[in-house]
């Protein structure tokens, strides 16, 4: 192929990649209020976001008490018989001059959608209703709270679940996971949980990614891949997250032996913990994507005869678009070993025939680096055009 032909092929490949990335990164259109009751509607969830995410509401504030009261009213209307768990919760965090004791009186709002078999281990949906001071927290984490309410409403509209579905809307997450600590350490309902889904946000938009799992996640990943609408997840993300000094309420659930999945959207990071995290700028497509994916998994768990068993950890990721594949780690190592072996055999044969020129190798390496750079530039442009931004 001539130089001009190779350049044309590269341009075609980059354009095709751009189209593929754009289709994959763009959030879905938010479903309107007339969406069937059995489906998730971002418009319906936004009605709750508008009330609870209107102004900053850190733990212990008057504004957070108003959020609590709204949650109690909404959960009562859904038939969840809500209650408030009040507790003093403490944690020790590293500070600039040594360990610091942080504590608050938290008010977790808890409700239960009764299942047909109350003896089965329950599914829990968890999100935190407090914000950091200075931010309305429309995304972090009122989006998760409102999504949880809409998911439970949709499950009830489908005829009710087989097992209990528990809403745990924690308080004081931003201060140090205080509400989750209080719930799992002191509330008897915590011992009834068999599987938990945490809904979070670390930005103001973008598609929601399932970014963390409990240990021995093979069966849970299979469930996620089969039940979520437009699933997005990557085991590399989960691996990197383990190395970061970040925590969510899901950390507390894992520490208490509860299996589950952690979801968040992480685009538009300028809005994270920012005064700009308002109702008006929240990406409703991100809310829709989170709700669609989490509802599919929640409904499958809530109505399944058994919970996903703990099986060997899986390697997983999106292959093309919304197609998420998963396989045991040993299969990946076998594939890598086979690839390395074939490359070694090909290289040895090329050297024996005198066909291996180091200049050609260098050109191949250079072309690979060019393709990587073109891919990175394309991804950056896609994020700008879809409005996802960094993250």
Q: Could you report the per-residue pLDDT of 105-149, keeping only the tens digit for each?
A: 999 999 999 999 999 999 999 999 999 999 999 999 999 999 999
**Pairing of β 165-170 and β 98-113:** antiparallel
**Do 164 and 42 belong to one domain?**
yes
**Do 182 and 317 belong to one domain?**
yes
**Do 242 and 260 belong to one domain?**
yes
What mean pLDDT is predicted for residues 256-282?
A: 93
**How would residue 270 be classed by pLDDT, with cut points 50, 70 and 90?**
confident
Rounded Cα–Cα distance for residues 141 and 131 (Å)? 7
Count the domains in the chain. 2
**Do 15 and 74 belong to one domain?**
no
Query: Which is nearest to 66 in space by CA: 149, 154, 136?
Result: 136
CA angle 55, 390, 94 (to 5 degrees): 65
What mean pLDDT is predicted for residues 358-372?
A: 79
**Do 117 and 20 belong to one domain?**
no
pTM summary value: 0.87
**Do 65 and 161 belong to one domain?**
yes
What mean pLDDT is predicted for residues 302-330?
A: 90
Give residue-wise pLDDT tens across range 146-164. 999 999 999 999 998 999 9
Give residue-wise pLDDT tens across range 175-224. 999 999 999 999 999 999 999 999 999 999 999 999 999 999 999 999 99
Between 16 and 279, the more confident residue is: 279
* Helix then strand then coil, % of the chain, to nearest 5: 45, 20, 30
Q: Is residue 353 part of a domain?
A: no
Helices 142-157 & 42-52 angle (0-180, nearest 10): 140
For all residues of the chain together, what is the average pLDDT? 90
**How would residue 307 be classed by pLDDT, with cut points 50, 70 and 90?**
very high
**Do 117 and 204 belong to one domain?**
yes
Q: Which of 15-24, 250-259, 272-281, 336-345 is least confident?
A: 15-24
Question: What percentage of residues in the chain have a pLDDT greater than 70?
Answer: 96
CATH of the domain at 215: 3.40.630.10
Q: Is residue 229 part of a domain?
A: yes
Give residue-wise pLDDT tens across range 52-101. 999 999 999 999 999 999 999 999 999 999 999 999 998 888 878 888 88
Domain housing 78? 31-321
Between 248 and 348, the more confident residue is: 248
CA angle 260, 313, 198 (to 5 degrees): 15
Q: Is residue 35 part of a domain?
A: yes
- Confidence check: pLDDT of 295 > 70: yes
**Do 291 and 377 belong to one domain?**
no
**How would residue 236 be classed by pLDDT, with cut points 50, 70 and 90?**
confident
- Confidence check: pLDDT of 390 > 60: no
- Confidence check: pLDDT of 361 > 80: no
**How would residue 387 be classed by pLDDT, with cut points 50, 70 and 90?**
low
**Do 93 and 164 belong to one domain?**
yes
**Do 281 and 374 belong to one domain?**
no
């Amino acid at each position: 192929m001539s130089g001009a032909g190779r350049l044309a092929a590269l341009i075609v490949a980059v354009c095709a990649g751009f189209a593929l990335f754009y289709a994959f990164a763009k959030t879905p259109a938010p479903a309107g209020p007339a969406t069937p009751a059995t489906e998730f509607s971002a418009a319906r969830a936004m009605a709750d976001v508008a009330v609870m995410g209107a102004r900053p509401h850190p733990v212990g504030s008057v504004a957070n008490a108003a959020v609590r009261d709204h949650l109690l009213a909404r959960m009562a209307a859904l038939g969840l018989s809500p209650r408030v768990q009040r507790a003093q919760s403490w944690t020790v965090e590293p500070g600039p001059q040594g360990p610091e004791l942080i504590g608050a009186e938290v008010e977790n709002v808890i409700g239960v959608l009764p299942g047909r078999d109350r003896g089965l281990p329950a599914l829990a949906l968890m999100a935190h209703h407090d914000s950091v001071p200075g931010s309305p927290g429309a995304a972090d984490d009122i989006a998760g709270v409102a999504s949880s309410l809409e998911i439970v409403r949709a499950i009830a509209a489908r005829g009710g679940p087989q097992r209990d579905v528990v809403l745990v809307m924690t308080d004081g997450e931003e201060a140090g996971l205080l509400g989750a600590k209080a719930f799992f350490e002191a509330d008897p309902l915590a011992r009834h949980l068999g599987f938990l889904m945490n809904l979070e946000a670390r930005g103001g938009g973008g598609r929601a990614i399932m970014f963390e799992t409990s240990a021995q996640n093979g069966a849970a990943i299979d469930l996620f891949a089969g039940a979520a609408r437009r699933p997005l997840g990557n085991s590399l993300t989960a691996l990197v997250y383990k190395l970061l000094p970040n925590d969510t309420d899901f950390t507390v659930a894992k520490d208490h032996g509860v299996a589950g999945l952690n979801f968040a959207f992480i685009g538009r990071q300028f809005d994270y913990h920012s005064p700009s995290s308002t109702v008006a700028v929240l990406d409703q497509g991100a809310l829709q994507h989170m709700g669609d994916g989490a509802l599919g998994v929640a409904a499958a768990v809530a109505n399944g005869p058994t919970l996903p068993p703990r099986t060997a950890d899986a390697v997983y990721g999106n292959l093309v678009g919304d197609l998420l594949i998963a396989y045991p780690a040993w299969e990946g190592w076998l594939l890598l070993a086979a690839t390395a072996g074939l490359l070694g055999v090909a290289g040895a044969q090329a050297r024996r025939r005198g066909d291996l020129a180091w200049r050609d190798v260098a050109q191949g390496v250079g072309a690979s680096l060019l393709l990587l750079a073109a891919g990175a530039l394309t991804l950056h442009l896609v994020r700008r055009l879809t409005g996802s931004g960094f993250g």
